């Protein structure tokens, strides 16, 4: 086994990969939610002055990427790689958003797990000695996603209680080799494999993805010989209330107790009672926004010392669904720690 590999899914970085900055741009509904005050920029109108939803998403990506670079006190030429993804066919939101910023581009598709996937890959590129600074991000847009995956927006149909609301926005971070203890840092990276429990209902993504999160989490604990108590916060992404309950039950069945330190980004981004978002938020931006707006700050201030960040994705297309295929899920994650602000290492 290679030195850095702890197991099939977990790798341990030799040196901390610092998160130099985090930037977030969120849509209107998100700005009206519980995290509304925390985003760097919020949109009054999800069209962002553009003529189509798709162009709006690309503009959100473009601006947020620039903001993340600026907040890290860098310029685009300092960045060695840009790793991002989104939900649109052929990840065109990222493509058209990034094209103006001339950085070697690695496009990834992990559906809603993209932020975890991209952060993990970026950290490995740095720890592997291939880069000093990597820009990482994920975006999604409710209207563009509905149009592609479900139905035109004007349709008067009802959404079942298990459905989730695709988040509009972009979250981005700059990872760097050269950081300091005022910055949170990544220590370990987990990469999931595709988990398929034969769920076919595209209106219940939480259930489709929960097994992937549970499996990767349990693999991590076994491979590192740790348990949930090691962390201050364990956050999955996009599972919503339904999926979160399932993960808790799946882990309990194997003897792992997840208490209140466990949260899901889908349940944090919207207010269940007042915003009518049923099972919660989803989309690549969900976990990206919750991490960059909320948890990055808490880590930077030393209020949280150890976090397991593990967004999940549902890997399907309208075609695969219509052909009767199930919806496989995948999870990707990183462990982030902080030494800030209490004087001892």
Partner 1 sequence: MDIFKAFWVGGIICVIGQILIDKTKLQPGRILVMYVCIGCVLGALGLYKPLVDYAGAGATVPLTGFGYNLAKGVIEEVDSSGFLGIFTGGLKAAAGGISGAVAFSWLAAVFFEPKGK
Partner 2 sequence: MVQKASPDSPIIMDCVKAFVSGGIICSIGQMLRNYFTGQGLSQDDTGLAVSLILIASAVLLTGLGLFGKIGKFCGAGTIVPITGFANSVASPAIEFKKEGWVFGLGAKMFQVAGPVIVYGTVTSIFVGIIYYLAKLVM
**Which residues of this protein are in contact with partner 1, per CB under 8 A?**
28-29, 45-47, 53, 142-143, 152-154, 157-158, 160, 201, 203
- The CB-of-114 to partner 2 minimum distance in angstroms stands at 24
204 binds partner 2 (CB under 8 A): yes
Q: Which two tokens stand for residue 245?
A: 């309950």
What is the C-alpha to C-alpha distance for residues 195 and 161, in angstroms, rounded to an integer? Answer: 24
What is the C-alpha to C-alpha distance for residues 23 and 149, in angstroms, rounded to an integer? Answer: 27
Residue 242 interacts, among partner 2, partner 1, none and using kind-specific CB cut-offs from 5 to 8 Å, with partner 2
Looking at 26-34, 92-100, 154-162, 219-227, which segment touches partner 2 (CB under 8 A)?
A: 154-162
Residue 22 interacts, among partner 2, partner 1, none and using kind-specific CB cut-offs from 5 to 8 Å, with none
> Of residues 22, 246, 285, 289, which one binds partner 2 by CB under 8 A?
246
Task: Between 81 and 241, name the residue whose CB sits nearer to partner 2.
Answer: 241
Task: Between 154 and 343, name the residue whose CB sits nearer to partner 2.
Answer: 154
Q: How many CA within 13 A on the CB side of residue 117?
A: 22
Burial class (CB in 10 A: 0-12, 13-18, 19+), 76: middle
160 binds partner 2 (CB under 8 A): yes
Pairing, β 185-191 against β 329-337? antiparallel
Give which of 315, 21, 289, 27 is closest to 138, Cα–Cα: 289
44 binds partner 2 (CB under 8 A): no
CB 289 within 8 A of CB 39: yes
Residue 252 interacts, among partner 1, partner 2, none and using kind-specific CB cut-offs from 5 to 8 Å, with none
156 binds partner 2 (CB under 8 A): yes
**Local structure of 316: helix, strand or coil:** coil
Cα Rg of the chain (Å, integer)? 18
Residue 207 interacts, among partner 1, partner 2, none and using kind-specific CB cut-offs from 5 to 8 Å, with partner 2
Residue 249 interacts, among partner 1, partner 2, none and using kind-specific CB cut-offs from 5 to 8 Å, with partner 2
- Specify the length of the chain in residues: 345
């Amino acid at each position: 086994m290679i030195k850095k590999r702890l197991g099939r899914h977990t790798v341990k970085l030799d040196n901390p990969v610092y998160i130099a900055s985090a930037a977030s741009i969120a849509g209107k509904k998100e700005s009206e939610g519980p995290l509304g005050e925390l985003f760097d920029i919020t949109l009054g109108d999800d069209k962002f002055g553009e003529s189509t939803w798709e162009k709006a998403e690309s503009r959100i990506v473009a601006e947020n990427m620039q903001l993340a670079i600026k907040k890290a006190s860098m310029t685009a030429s300092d960045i060695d790689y840009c790793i991002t993804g989104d939900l649109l066919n052929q990840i065109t939101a990222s493509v058209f958003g990034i094209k103006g910023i001339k950085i070697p581009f690695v496009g990834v598709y992990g559906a809603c797990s993209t932020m975890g996937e991209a952060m993990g890959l970026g950290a490995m590129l740095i720890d592997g000695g291939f880069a000093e600074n990597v820009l990482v991000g994920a975006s999604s847009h409710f209207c563009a996603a509905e149009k592609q995956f479900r139905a035109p927006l004007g349709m008067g149909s009802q959404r079942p209680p298990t459905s989730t609301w695709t988040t509009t926005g972009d979250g981005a971070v700059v990872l760097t080799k050269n950081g300091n203890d005022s910055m949170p840092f990544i220590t370990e990276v987990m990469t999931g494999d595709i988990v398929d429990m034969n769920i076919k209902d595209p209106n219940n993504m939480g259930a489709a993805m929960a097994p992937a999160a549970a499996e990767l989490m349990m693999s991590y604990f076994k491979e590192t010989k740790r348990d949930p108590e090691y962390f201050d916060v364990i956050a999955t992404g996009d599972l919503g209330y339904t999926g979160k309950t399932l993960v808790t039950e799946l882990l309990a069945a194997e003897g792992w107790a997840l208490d209140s330190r466990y949260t899901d980004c889908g349940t944090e981004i919207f207010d269940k009672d007042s915003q009518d978002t049923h099972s919660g938020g989803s989309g690549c931006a969900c976990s990206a926004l919750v991490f960059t707006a909320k948890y990055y700050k808490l880590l930077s201030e030393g209020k949280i010392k150890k976090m397991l960040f593990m967004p999940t994705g549902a890997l399907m297309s309208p075609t695969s669904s219509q052909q009767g295929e199930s919806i496989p899920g995948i999870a990707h994650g990183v462990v982030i720690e902080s030494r800030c602000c209490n004087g001892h290492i």
